[in-house]
Structure 1
Amino acid sequence: ASTMHPTADSFPQDEEPLIKEPSVNRYSHQKPSDRLHGAYVIFFLLGIGSLLPWNFFITAKHYWMYKLQNCSDQAGPAGQATSDLRDFFESYISIASTVPSVLCLIGNFLLVNKVPASVRILSSLFVMLAIFLVITVLVKVDTSTWTTSFFAITIVCVVIVSSASTIFSSSIFGLSSCFPMRNLQALISGQAMGGTISAVASLIDLMAAADVMDSALAYFLTADIFIVVCIMVYLLLPRLEYSRYYMSSQKEGPPLAAMLPNGSTEDEVEPGSTINASVLAKNNGIPPLRPILQKTALLGFCLFYVFFISIIIFPSLSSNIESVSKSSGSLWSTKYFAPLTSFLLYNFADWCGRQITAWIQAPGPKSKLLPVLVLLRTIFLPLFILSNYQPRAHIQTVVFSQDVYPVIFTVLLGLSNGYLGTLVMVYGPKIVPKELAEASGVVMTFYLVLGLAVGSACSVLIVHLV
């Protein structure tokens, strides 16, 4: 791996490997088609299931506040401690979810060649199901006399669910990297749909003014059902001839001599890279990290920066932008403005951006325009800060003093996040040798999580500076 030095002509044309499906039929018989788009639908559902349970967990904010407020009115240290648990609950949740995610991504990379993807995926799904069943049962349990213990149990559940969800998401992304690009796009698009569904559910709950306990029970039961659906459709995936074709070719692979008849692989990488990477991966059991980082460095930075900017703005900045006509007291300007213009609109625009990549893949992975477009998203920071963000402690100027501005900004933020983020994610596994595609998918997921982690930390600073 240390001798790998990609040359300018060692990469494919920007569009060539991304529009055409992998030419695995060089060493096999006729390539099967995805009948009734079965594999596409399965990856889409797995995408929804990978984030929907966690989205519902966060959406039930009022439930967690209710559960943690029972002792907050007590006098003395006990009441103060519980009040702190409630007031800083989201911060605790963020820490409890982010740190294990990074550690699990590293562990998943090390286990790529040692533990089969099916074992990692199914075990993580069953762990998520078990923990969510515990969370669902606790909804109907009176925890008013042991609030601190309930908080501790919740944090432990968050750590386990976050870890299992990270292993599941990165493993299924790595697996989809061995399929044609449209399946990878389906998975990423499904993740955005999970966010949209949770936003719609939150809005319906708001309109119905349902009991907080009933709402939480509905959220968690839905999460349980979706996890079961994920288990069922994943077990169905290998039964499809189309899926077996790509999964078996990735697992077994052709002889290197067959892969390299003219000194190149399907991705036109240099033969030395493929052979070295393959030998290293098989001998050590751990995928070679250096060649993956060398080839995906620019794409990794782009992915990091896309989600770094997005998480700074959404939801900490965007959800605190108020309607300029809030004083009128209308339902639009008070009750529905933030849920509609921030959460629902952003998630739907994000999903649309990801869907567009199914038809348009430009600019290409080597294009200089790609990082330029990613860096241009920095302009969204001052645009949202200068909207009617409240409360404001330092920057008192509001330049965009009409409700239409944050709506436009949110749509553009969501569209660009979905489109650019998906492009970069699907490009990563396509510019490395095929036997490193799954490991490359895990590495790209690491860039994404790192962007979210650093962005979340910076969002706290930005909010205090406004």
Structure 2
Amino acid sequence: MDETLSRGLAAGRSAPPRLCVAGPAPPPDRYNGVYLALLLAGAGFLLPYNSFIVAADYFQAQYPGSTIVFDLSLTYILVAFCSVLLNNVLVEAVDLHKRILFGYVLSFVTLLFVAVFEIWWQVFSNTTSYGVNLLAVSVVAVGCTAQQSSFYGYTGMLPNRYTQAVMTGESAAGVLVSTSRILTRLLLDDVRLNTLVFFCCSLLLVAVCCVLHQLLRRTAFVRHHVAACSADPLSETQAGDQVTLVDIVEEADGKDYGRLTLASNSDDSAFQSTETLPAGGAASYDTFSERAGGTSYRVSELLVHVRRSGRARHPALDCCAALKRGTQARSATVRRVWPYMVSICLAYLVTLSLFPGIESEVHSCTLGSWMPVVLMAIFNVSDFAGKVLASLPYEWSRRQLVAFSTLRFLLIPPLVLCAAPRAEPLLAWEGWPMLFSLLLGLTNGLVGSLPMILAPDKVPDQNRELCGNVMTLSYSLGLTTGSLLAYGLDALLGPPVYSTCGVLNITDLCIAGCQTLPGTNGSQPLP
């Protein structure tokens, strides 16, 4: 929506106004094809991150006793947060669809590299491999963040249910990845082989999402809604369209343009101008009537010409003015949607403080290395269900959303007690962490998606993409603080142990280059 504005900033001059047109009825979304494509798109840009996190059993076995899951999560979040900050400054310097394509290509290449060189060939030493995986997650974070912010701005130009589709797709990514991980582990006993197949499945899904996006952007439904917020009303509107220029934009030729309205009129008195002229300005009105097909139309245009000196403005002054307008637009947007920003920030702060780090540290004598896989699958499925529930017709107030997000802090103590202390957790029965994981996912699905769905309605149409960007910034802030809090909670668990069951299963912990002790038959009593 503010794409042209940022291009103007990059060029050192202000951009032309962005106009939103309420024209003819949009083309239908036949068979909900656009909705389903955006659902899969939401899965596509979070799928690479989920692939690393859901493969926690592989990484914990590869680096026993380490905080690999915490490190992967924090690395992704920190890089994503920095990427969001950069994206909010330079978001419109590159075309929206090019940003999305860039993210898909970057994610595909990175996953392919990890699958071939890290898992299949294992060309790196254990220490180097640890750093390579963190680097891979960092690269994935850059691409996924560019996609995520772009998709929220993209769907902000579509009806609300399509933003909900993307957010549901984010949860669907977890469900798809968890299902893939469970199936590969059930079908293949070799840990390295089933992890390789698992990453190949993720690669295939990313490729499918990339192709679908290229087809989606060409649909008549999407093109209509995008054009409604970016088209030139004088060239695109039809008779009877309502056109409103809601910004006062300073052009390079020294003119400030006010409000432009195009409307069908049966009574000339129906048109009224509410613009206030700036000091030192002069106004001129150009009106005309045209009869076409028996209907009369009246076009009224208010032009405000600011008196200037004869000297040309320095490009730096135009750039500063454009930056000032961009800052003011963001400030105005934040004032309108700050409760939604607070709500989504708190929601993901709680979620990331527990998932995936603390949940990956919950041990089970019955399930063994399956425990983190099961808990993550429960979270992802319930999170998906929560996002589906978010689409139900209920009017959530701003106060309700903030209160709901705050109440979720009550989930932190019981889930921590499922893993603390490590040797003898206070809530040792496997049913407790499963229950709390279910509640964590269900509430995250609700309060993690509702602010993103509702916030764009609180800003003018031409600021919807900008709203998506600032909401993503708040979302990333919650992710970052939650990931940092997870390290503090991990410290409360005590020193790491390999098992809470009194027997250390060497074959369950080692993947390659690890030998069982002589005469132990794969098991060794803990010291």
Aligned mates of 1:94, 1:338 — CA distance in 2:
15
The answer for the alignment partner of 1:185 in structure 2 is 164
Secondary structure (helix, strand or coil) at the match of 1:115 reads coil
Aligned mates of 1:60, 1:403 — CA distance in 2:
20
Secondary structure (helix, strand or coil) at the match of 1:105 reads helix
Aligned mates of 2:136, 2:352 — CA distance in 1:
23
Secondary structure (helix, strand or coil) at the match of 1:258 reads strand
Per-residue CA deviations over 1:231-263 (Å, capped at 9, x if unaligned) read 1111111221111111112232647982379x9
The answer for the alignment partner of 2:28 in structure 1 is 33
The answer for the alignment partner of 1:163 in structure 2 is 142
What displacement does 1:390 show? Answer: 4.0
Residues 131-280 of structure 1: matches in 2 within 5 Å?
A: 131-138=110-117, 139-143=119-123, 146-208=125-187, 210-252=189-231, 254=233, 258-259=243-244
Larger CA Rg, structure 1 vs 2: 2
Residues 37-436 of structure 1: matches in 2 within 5 Å?
A: 37-64=32-59, 87-138=66-117, 139-143=119-123, 146-208=125-187, 210-252=189-231, 254=233, 258-259=243-244, 283-284=322-323, 286=326, 288-321=329-362, 326=365, 331=366, 334=368, 336-340=370-374, 342-364=375-397, 366=398, 368-386=399-417, 388-392=418-422, 398=426, 403-436=430-463
Aligned mates of 1:401, 1:216 — CA distance in 2:
29
Cα contact 1:185–1:426 (8 A) shared by 2: yes
Cα contact 2:42–2:166 (8 A) shared by 1: yes
Aligned mates of 2:56, 2:378 — CA distance in 1:
19
Aligned mates of 1:223, 1:169 — CA distance in 2:
18
What displacement does 1:159 show? Answer: 1.9
What displacement does 1:65 show? Answer: 5.8
Secondary structure (helix, strand or coil) at the match of 1:252 reads coil
Aligned mates of 2:339, 2:459 — CA distance in 1:
13
Per-residue CA deviations over 1:29-83 (Å, capped at 9, x if unaligned) read 23211111111011001011111122112333454467x66xxxxxxxxxxxxx9
Relative to structure 1, the CA distance from residue 422 to residue 226 in structure 2 (aligned partners, 3 Å threshold; closer, same or farther) is: same
Per-residue CA deviations over 1:296-351 (Å, capped at 9, x if unaligned) read 2111111010111112122333444456xx4xxxx4x54655533x2111111110
Aligned mates of 1:129, 1:410 — CA distance in 2:
30
Which of the pair is proportionally richer in strand? 2
What displacement does 1:147 show? Answer: 4.6
- Which residues of structure 1 form unaligned runs of 5+? 1-23, 70-82, 273-278
Aligned mates of 1:392, 1:416 — CA distance in 2:
27
What displacement does 1:158 show? Answer: 2.4
Aligned mates of 1:264, 1:419 — CA distance in 2:
40
Task: State the identity %.
Answer: 23
Aligned mates of 1:167, 1:360 — CA distance in 2:
31
The answer for the alignment partner of 1:14 in structure 2 is none
TM-score normalised according to structure 2 size: 0.68
Aligned mates of 1:436, 1:203 — CA distance in 2:
42
Which amino acid letter does the alignment assign opposite residue 101 of structure 1? A
Which amino acid letter does the alignment assign opposite residue 141 of structure 1? W
Cα contact 1:260–1:271 (8 A) shared by 2: no
TM-score normalised according to structure 1 size: 0.76
Relative to structure 1, the CA distance from residue 361 to residue 64 in structure 2 (aligned partners, 3 Å threshold; closer, same or farther) is: same
Aligned mates of 1:194, 1:168 — CA distance in 2:
14
Relative to structure 1, the CA distance from residue 292 to residue 264 in structure 2 (aligned partners, 3 Å threshold; closer, same or farther) is: farther
Relative to structure 1, the CA distance from residue 150 to residue 281 in structure 2 (aligned partners, 3 Å threshold; closer, same or farther) is: same
Runs (4 or more) in structure 1 with deviation over 6 Å come to 279-282
| One of 447, 461, 465 as aligned partner of 2:488 | 461
Which amino acid letter does the alignment assign opposite residue 375 of structure 1? T
Which one is further off, 310-319 or 225-234?
310-319
RCO higher in structure (CA 8 A, sep ≥6)? 1
Which amino acid letter does the alignment assign opposite residue 384 of structure 1? L
Aligned mates of 1:94, 1:408 — CA distance in 2:
23
Secondary structure (helix, strand or coil) at the match of 2:229 reads helix
Equivalences, count = 400
Aligned mates of 2:58, 2:438 — CA distance in 1:
29
Aligned mates of 1:62, 1:319 — CA distance in 2:
8
Aligned mates of 2:459, 2:60 — CA distance in 1:
47
What displacement does 1:204 show? Answer: 2.7
Please provide the CA RMSD for this pair.
3.3
Cα contact 2:53–2:72 (8 A) shared by 1: no
Cα contact 1:306–1:374 (8 A) shared by 2: yes
Which amino acid letter does the alignment assign opposite residue 98 of structure 1? I
Aligned mates of 1:302, 1:428 — CA distance in 2:
11
Secondary structure (helix, strand or coil) at the match of 2:106 reads helix
Relative to structure 1, the CA distance from residue 202 to residue 421 in structure 2 (aligned partners, 3 Å threshold; closer, same or farther) is: same
Cα contact 1:349–1:411 (8 A) shared by 2: yes
Which amino acid letter does the alignment assign opposite residue 437 of structure 1? R
The answer for the alignment partner of 1:6 in structure 2 is none
What displacement does 1:286 show? Answer: 4.5
Relative to structure 1, the CA distance from residue 231 to residue 338 in structure 2 (aligned partners, 3 Å threshold; closer, same or farther) is: closer
Aligned mates of 2:371, 2:57 — CA distance in 1:
18
Cα contact 2:347–2:447 (8 A) shared by 1: yes
